[in-house]
Chains A and B, each alone.
Chain A
Amino acid sequence: MIPAAFDYVRAGSVDEAVGLLGEHGDEAKLLAGGHSLLPLMRLRLASPGVVVDLGRIDELRGVREQGDELAIGAMTTHYQLTKDPLIAEHCPILAAVTETVGDPQVRHRGTLGGAAAHGDAAGDQPTTLLALDATMVAQGPDGRREIAAADFFTGVFETALAEDEVLVEIRVPKVTDWGYDYQKFNRVAQAWAIVGVAALVRRENGGIAEARVGLTHMGSTPLRASATEQALEGASADGIADAAEQAAEGTNPPADQNAQPDYREHLARVLTRRALENALGR
């Protein structure tokens, strides 16, 4: 449990971090909260030559209001998300999901940007960002660019970030009056979700004007239950059960000690129904 030798650099600014990434290429790894990177290094599954610590870049922390969106600094910790008044008011699903991540110590160190950039299909927050249609802001040598969440998660632990880019900000739309729920199904409290379902529902006249459903651990990336979403456009509460039956369409769930693919598909359908029912109710 001792990592291989590596150089450590504390970046004073995003520009400096981008410069260091350019300098060291694929030898460099960014360190955010460290709760994914450090275990991999200690198990020697990752052996970066240079670790660039983003921990002291204050500009990357905090939540701001920006028109119809909230702009969340990539280094905002999970704990801060769960306590932030803007998140509570305008994007409570993100706080609710974040409450289920790890344990209090993890939540005090881990960051939203780190969780997103790690690109774990079993992570709760990537699914939620996808369901929210979040916008990921990356900064590279040529400045900043925006990446839609739908384009951001590209494969198993892979994202659209280039080697010399830093994820600096995540913008989420205000979903102030939307109903929401996250169903996390796991073995013990600290385990990853076997399947997770994030549901957002915009209500109109007691029915569903729009629904967004994100699926955790149902493929190589976080996924949307598109068929379910389409079936719910303008549907009433009674339509939820049928729509949820389509939740696993287009997914490619993995097999592991907890679940064969068919069981994951079954869970996705059940949890989608429950998440939507709860979302509609609050």
Chain B
Amino acid sequence: MTAVEDAPSAQIGQARHRKEDPKLVTGQTSWTDNIQLPGMLYMAFVRSSMAHARIDGVDYSAALEQPGVIAAFSGEDLADDWAGPLPCAWPVTPEMVHPDHWPLAKDEVRYVGDAVAVVVARSREAAADAAEHVVVDYEPLDAVVDMEQALEDSTLVHSDKGTNECFVWNLDSGDLDDAFENAEVVVKRRFINQRLIPTAIEPRAVVVAPVPASGQYTLYSATQVPHILRTMLAMTTGVSEEKLRIVAPDVGGGFGSKLNVYAEESVALAVSSRLKRPVKWTESRSENYQATIHGRDQIQDMEVAADADGRIRAIRADLKADMGAYLQLVTPGIPVLGAFMYCGIYKMDAYSFTCTGVFTTKTPTDAYRGAGRPEATFALERLIDELAAELEMDPIELRKRNWIKHEEFPSDTIAGLTYDSGNYEAATEKAMELFGYDELREEQHRRREDGDRVQLGIGVSTYTEMCGLAPSRVLGSLDYGAGGWESAVVRMLPTGKVEVVTGTSPHGQGHETTFSQIVADDLGVDFDDIEILHGDTKVSPQGLDTYGSRSLAVGGIAIHMASERLVEQMKEAAAHMLEAAIDDVEFEGGTFRVKGSPEASTTIQDVALGLFTAHDLPDGFEPSLQAECTFDPENFSFPHGTHLAAMEVDTETGEAKVRSYVCVDDVGTIINPQVVEGQIHGGLVQGIAQALWEEAIYDDAGNLVTGSIVDYYVPGAPDVPSFTTDHTVTPATSNPLGVKGVGEAGTIASTPAIVNGVVDAIRHFGVNDIRMPCSPERVWRAIQDREGHTQDDTSDQELEGGGMG
């Protein structure tokens, strides 16, 4: 292993244009929906229009009469096609309530969008038309929408389970009683981390191509996790794993929403098996909003105990997390992933995390960009700002008094993790300088004094996250159903080109570019001579896919180590070819040289050809052109950074605008600054969107009110300012490249920075919280309520949003 600082890096660190982009921007991509197979049939799902009802009958006889219709199936029809219910791979406690989740509902529907039947026809249009002719006889049951009401168990989502409580998960550390009883200051807040809809630009799609004679199936899916999908489908559908090939073609974004095993994938396999024909299903955006997992949705009761000088003594987080109607692949594990993050970058004496999972009659929740960690960071960083306000202390000064100092790494946290590295001082100092922190504070003061209509607020977020998921033994200790290693094969071709096989499964991140840069440096070959192969279990049979900012920090390390192994392997052949002892041969920049005789050298390409022909190799030497590595990380990686938002709030209308945004992130070694910048920008916008715009709203009957992009406000470029992004580089010590991962950082950090900024702008009106998203109406009402105006038409919800806690 080579430490990063002394590696001669020709490619690492360069802002190479992404290899993926020419194909993407010229329409030469192969999305799942582009796949056309001879004889292919199309599926349309009949979905529940009710949040909760008994199914008294499914009559599809009229649908079968429609032109082009081949078949239709209800949940009852397919009941014997499954080896088991849809999987949840993360039973967070032994007692966890785990209701059966069948691909098509049989007895009851439990959320609007729950699939009840499937119609199969010769065209997508015919299937959609015929689905309208399926009559489902529903006996309405009460919807369960509110988590706290759900916990009263007056109406049960799963009546056979006797409770709506899915699990309670707890982690206590240190002497909490002492900390809270003897603290000079205790601040309590209740935050609502609202439900979000991931909205990947490509909705889901599935194609199944069967070979009935041999019982083989190829399933194409717009998925982040072809390997997990293969294993899980084999376990739940009865198709044997070796007969099942999964292909993730070009995939247009996921943000966690495609980290799952979905009903439609199982049904496509079953229908294809029954009809012995290829089938396709492509999700509409409306279906995507109802039937693809949602994210977040937590009630966060937070408490901090501190001394008067600002030293934090303890933090207590008590969460209620909405599971939705069923447990999808890792639903219960998402809030629990946050368990280790409610202490953030701060030192303290005691810590408590408790999470109660709750069933409701809503779309299941699961991983959404950051998955448990944005929720934690939001509640923590909001709470720290509230403590600063209580102590009348600058929020950055308060953080300085509590964070782990750079000389204190590695550092064991109160939540039980070991942070390997970090430099919060450096990132914060740089961010404050870029931001003009002191000048903006002065302006804020001035505007307050002048009573300006537009008030200025400064939002701070000093975050860390745990990513690079994950050390397998840690996942085991958390009862997760799989490991966290990643696999790679690096292969020289006879012509001197290189193929790299990765078990990660990119869907927009730029892995092909980033990984090529690593291998180009490792092997001394041209960036353009490297092809990254992924997303097909036939090509890459071993892997654990892409999520949790793991692809570089785990998968990239596997590639790097496989490359080094290949060089070592080839060195023996090179020594033979150079007629030198192996210890006398050194490798650099694609050339094997004999130490001390610079003219005696050969290129890696020549050695590859020599290995291919195998005419003259050392006795017993295996003429292999490839090496592999499966890397299991010893620890998580911990990106961190300081984000500062200048928020302008129009006190007349309540509108909050981002005036400027500065972030200094430390993601360790940067392989490609442009790819990193892209990830940060996208992440920031997604995090800002939670703070200001996005919210999945259900009415009392359990209908998704924000059922389309018309009502669910996904921002566009005009809605955000130009960001100022910069970095500090504190290499991770847990892997040989010093990388940490960057996929989630922007989303995790930005949400609290924005809300802290909004609250800071109007705190002098007596406001200490605005519920997300900080809509103009919520901000306006918060100001009105505190100014003592009376409102004659104020809903309870809005009052609550105005200043909870």
Contacts and interface: CB of A to CB of B under 8 A. Distances in A.
Interface of A: 1-2, 4-5, 43-44, 103, 185, 187-192, 194, 257-263, 266-267, 270-271
B716 A190 contact: yes
Contacts of A5: 125, 129
Given A257-B697, A257-B705, A267-B653, A188 B124 contact: no
Contact of B128 (A2, A191, A194, A262): A2
A266 B716 contact: no
The 7 A-B residue pairs with the shortest CB-CB distance, nearest first, are A1-B284, A189-B718, A2-B128, A262-B793, A188-B713, A263-B777, A188-B719
B133 to A, nearest CB: 11
Interface string B787-800: 00001111100100
A2 B795 CA distance: 37
Given A191-B713, A257-B706, 20 more contacts: A1-B285, A1-B286, A2-B125, A2-B129, A4-B132, A43-B286, A43-B708, A44-B132, A185-B653, A187-B775, A187-B776, A188-B713, A189-B716, A189-B718, A189-B719, A258-B776, A260-B777, A262-B791, A263-B781, A270-B652
A158 to B, nearest CB: 20
A267 B705 CA distance: 24
Interface of B: 124-125, 128-129, 132, 284-286, 652-653, 655, 693, 695, 697, 705-706, 708, 710-711, 713-716, 718-719, 775-777, 780-781, 791-795, 798
Contacts of A44: 132
A188 B125 contact: no
29 contacts: A1-B285, A1-B286, A2-B125, A2-B129, A5-B125, A185-B655, A187-B693, A187-B713, A188-B713, A188-B715, A188-B716, A188-B719, A191-B710, A192-B710, A194-B776, A257-B695, A257-B697, A257-B706, A258-B776, A259-B777, A260-B777, A260-B793, A260-B794, A261-B793, A262-B792, A263-B781, A266-B780, A267-B653, A270-B652
A1 B652 CA distance: 40
A276 B186 CA distance: 49
Contacts of B775: 187, 258
A257 B710 CA distance: 12
Contacts of A259: 777
B798 A260 contact: yes
B790 to A, nearest CB: 10
B572 to A, nearest CB: 59
Contacts of A270: 652-653
A28 to B, nearest CB: 20
Contacts of A263: 777, 780-781
A188 B798 CA distance: 20
Nearest to B791: A262
Contacts of B710: 191-192
A266 B794 CA distance: 13
A4 B128 CA distance: 8
Nearest to A195: B653
A112 B775 CA distance: 31
Contact of B795 (A189, A260, A271): A260
A25 to B, nearest CB: 23
Contacts of B129: 2, 4-5
Contacts of A2: 124-125, 128-129, 284
Most B-side CB within 10 Å, residue of A5, A188, A260, A271: A188
A14 B583 CA distance: 89
Contacts of A266: 780
B712 to A, nearest CB: 10
Nearest to B124: A2
A185 B776 contact: yes
A258 B777 contact: yes
A271 B132 CA distance: 45
Contacts of B794: 260, 262
Nearest to B287: A1
Most B-side CB within 10 Å, residue of A2, A259, A261, A271: A2
B451 to A, nearest CB: 16
A262 B286 CA distance: 31
A263 B695 CA distance: 20
Contacts of A188: 693, 713-716, 718-719
Contacts of B777: 258-260, 263
